Chain A
Amino acid sequence: MTDASLVVTDLRVEFSGFVAVGGVSFDAHLGEVRFLIGPNGAGKTTCIDAITGLSRATGSARLGGRELLGRPVHKIVRFGVGRTFQTASVFDELSVLQNLDIAAGRHRPAASLLRTRRGVDASIEQALEETGLAGELATPAGILSHGQKQWLEIAMLLVQDARVLLLDEPVAGMSQDERTATGGLLQRVAAKRIVLVVEHDMDFMRRFATRVTVLHQGKVLSDGTVAEVQADPKVQEVYLGTAGAATTAAMSVVPEAAGTPQRKED
């Protein structure tokens, strides 16, 4: 199990004295859509920044037994860690195909960079199919809709053949239909890759999470299935403060209202 898992142990990130993440441990495995949630400032994005080498951190983050911390960003990527950002960052002036082609490039020999692209890689076609972007091959990424840009980013991670997908608020700003499509996509992707989603959209989390880790002020507050986490009084307190029972009830009612079956436990 640990062979292909992402195992984070006692992760700490400090910004000149301020402890943004103070000893967080969690793991993520194949076959599950793992959510990292928490109020603003809980350290969710900082955790991802640390794992991907963007922020200096202590502790350990291992992928398949290999230590990631302390390596430069592009080396960590080459170990198979891919991420997206809160604001979709695709190359606006390049077409969808060119975007994906660059993402696929790290598996090619350097000399091939000097040649012109001929045809479309099989991995790119597959990713286009998977993300529903097949019709947008020649479209400049800059004029895609917001949702399509996020999908393009996910497609780039697929083409890049990332073993771990770290997604930072992938459904922010999406319509309900787009959210549902994205959730389905993530569940399909999770069969072969580790998927870790940072989100504070509770509804989306309830519908698609397999396991959830709740962060609060840089520490793990709770960990478990959606039902377990929702039932945790500590979580209720953080999210609802003293607002009391009425909102607690509202929080647990939504899954039924949305009409989605509870995810099976693993």
Chain B
Amino acid sequence: MTKLKPRLSLIGIGVFAVLLLVVAPLVLTDHWLSNLGKYCCWAIAAVGIGLAWGRGGMLVMGQGVFFALGAYSMAMHLTLETAGAGVPGFMVLYDPLAPLPAFWEPFRSAAFTLLAIVLLPVIVAGLLGYALFKRRVKGAYFAILSQALAVALATLISSTIRETGGDTGLSDFKYFFGFVLEDPANRVMVYLIAAALLVVCLLVVWQLYRSRFGELLVATRDAEERVRFLGYDPATVKLVAFVLAALMASIGGAMFVPIVGIITPAEIGAAASILMIAGVAFGGRASLFGPALGAMAVGWGQSSLGSAWPEGWTYIVGLLFIVVILFLPKGLSSLLPRFTAARRSPGEQPAAGTAAPELEAVQS
């Protein structure tokens, strides 16, 4: 049984990959494919949250910060690519002679941008996590601190309209590393990259969860002191998970930009960070598929219900959150074992089943 379960999860990831990479592009319209791409980006960040929060016990309420690092790195590059040799349009708007701020300059380079998307979150999360975990900051204090960072960063971006575009954000990207974004084929390609990255992230956490590190992470979550008395430094264990989660959030943010076409502080602030957490809680934070599917479901709800009935959507999310926390503290994914136990069906279903029902919901 213990040997069988990881295999089933792997099959599940395979089914999920086929649905995302093969079926979805054939079945969905351009509009919905681009929406699904957006959900994939949130799901990538959510997979990281599942790792840090679900398995590591760190309530990362400010993943918007790392989402922003990736998103703005990408957006700056795409803005410069669109502007050509000149200065981005929005900057000239305020001062026709405005020079390009120094921190924008390196983002002209595609290689630098890709490196920044990977290294910035690693460095920031590494320093931040080291300082916090070594000082044994945890629980609510950690959550509040991470949330405050997201608020601070969003405020900073809002207040620096000349350098970052402020509340209007960065938008109107024409090219994606040389590809014209108006071309539907290129947009499908961008979607496929995001979907493939999501599958890769799932594979990474799948291996982590079945590795000794995964066991150690759960042990650290449940009894940090005990782990210390086994000769490990829990700060290091948590740091690894936290940095990985930050990296995933950054990758999600980076892909969000070419798919959605705009990035604003609202997408990375407190509310956005909490919505990412909500999706993870909804799907099941400690499970493999729960965070990704939960985030996609919330994303789908936001763009369908949210646009049809904006004032009601907030209440629905709130209500959903309360119901899940009250009755299904381990999220929707905890329903599945009960369901299969009740049916007593032989093991084939679970992993594939996890992927299927909610994905239908996402695509409908």
B229 engages A91 (CB within 8 Å) = no
Known: A74-B231, A77-B231, A106-B232. A91 touches B212 (CB 8 A): no
Are B226 and A91 within 8 A (Cβ)?
yes
Asked if B212 contacts A101 (CB within 8 A), the reply is: yes
CB neighbours (8 Å) of B27 from chain A are none
Separation of A103 and B225 alpha carbons in the complex (Å): 13
> Which B residues are CB-close (under 8 A) to A105?
212, 216, 230, 232
* Min CB–CB distance A84 → chain B (angstroms): 9
Counting CB contacts under 8 A, is A129 at the interface? no
Given contacts A89-B223, A93-B222, A102-B219, is CB(A156)–CB(B230) below 8 Å?
yes
Report the separation of the CA atoms of residues A4 and B208 in the bound assembly, to the nearest whole angstrom: 39
A102 surroundings in chain B (CB, below 8 A): 212, 215-216, 219, 227, 230
Main secondary structure of the interface of B (DSSP, over half): helix
Q: Indicate if the CB atoms of B211 and A93 lie closer than 8 Å.
A: no
The one of A78, A90, A93, A116 in contact with B231, judged by C-beta atoms closer than 8 angstroms, is A78
Which residues of B213-270 are within 8 A (CB) of A? 213, 215-216, 218-219, 222-223, 225-233
- Does the CB pair B222–A91 fall under 8 Å? yes
Bits for A3-35, please: 1 = Cβ < 8 Å to B, else 0.
000000000000000000000000000000000
Q: How many residues of B contact A (CB 8 A)?
A: 23
Question: A166-202, CB under 8 A of B: which get 1 and which 0?
Answer: 0000000000000000000000000000000000000
Distance from B221 Cβ to chain A, minimum over Cβ atoms (Å) = 9
Contact digits for B116-159, partner A, Cβ 8 Å, 1 yes 0 no = 00000000000000000000000000000000000000000000
Q: Once the chains are docked, how many angstroms separate the CA of A102 from the CA of B229?
A: 11
Say yes or no: is A114 at the interface (Cβ < 8 Å to chain B). Answer: yes
Q: Does A160 contact B (CB under 8 A)?
A: yes
Q: Give the contacts of A70-114 with B (CB-CB under 8 A).
A: 72-74, 77-78, 82-83, 85, 89-94, 98-99, 101-103, 105-106, 108, 112-114
CB nearest to B235 among chain A residues: A74
User: In the complex, what distance in Å separates the CA atom of A89 from the CA atom of B210?
Assistant: 23
- A136 to B: closest C-beta gap in Å: 15
Q: Which residues of A contact B211 (CB under 8 A)?
A: 113-116
Is B29 positioned at the interface, with any CB of A under 8 Å from its CB?
A: no
Q: Which residues of B lie under 8 Å from residue A160 when comparing CB positions? A: 230-231
| Closest beta carbon of chain A to B320's beta carbon, Å | 26
Q: How large is the interface on A (under 10, 10 to 19, 20 to 34, 35 or more residues)?
A: 20 to 34
A246 to B238, CA, bound (A): 57
Taking CB atoms, residues of chain B closer than 8 Å to A73 are 228-229
Is B2 part of the contact surface with A, judged by Cβ < 8 Å?
yes
Please give, as numbers and ranges, the residues of chain A lying within 8 Å of B223 by CB-CB distance: 89-91
Could you tell me the distance between the alpha carbons of A98 and B215 in the complex, rounded to whole angstroms? Answer: 7
Select which of B216, B228, B231 is within 8 A of A113 by beta carbon. B216
Nearest residue (CB) in B for A138 is B2
Question: Which residue from B2, B215, B229 sits with its C-beta under 8 Å from A101?
Answer: B215
Interface flag for B304 (CB, 8 Å): no
Q: How near does chain A come to B240, taking the closest CB pair, in angstroms?
A: 9
Interface core residue of A77, A82, A91, A112 (most chain B CB under 10 Å): A91
Using CB atoms, name the residue of chain B closest to A160.
B230
A28 to B73, CA, bound (A): 60
Q: Is B168 an interface residue (CB 8 A)?
A: no
Judge whether A52 is part of the interface by a CB distance below 8 angstroms: yes
Closest to A159 in B: B230
Q: Whole-angstrom distance from the CB of B215 to the nearest CB of chain A?
A: 5
Minimum CB–CB distance from B219 to chain A (whole Å) comes to 4
Q: Does A117 touch B at the CB level, under 8 Å?
A: yes
Contact assessment for B233 and A113 in the assembled complex, using a CB-CB cutoff below 8 Å: no
**A101 vs B2: C-alpha distance in the bound complex, in angstroms?**
16
B residues in contact with A93, CB < 8 Å:
218, 222
User: What are 26 A-B interface contacts by the 8 Å CB criterion?
Assistant: A52-B229, A74-B229, A74-B232, A74-B233, A77-B228, A77-B230, A82-B229, A85-B226, A89-B226, A91-B218, A91-B219, A91-B226, A93-B218, A94-B215, A99-B219, A101-B212, A102-B215, A102-B227, A105-B212, A105-B232, A106-B232, A113-B211, A113-B213, A116-B6, A116-B210, A138-B2
Give residues in A with beta carbon < 8 Å to B.
Answer: 52, 72-74, 77-78, 82-83, 85, 89-94, 98-99, 101-103, 105-106, 108, 112-117, 138, 156, 160
* Nearest 4 CB-CB pairings of A with B: A106-B231, A77-B231, A113-B213, A91-B219
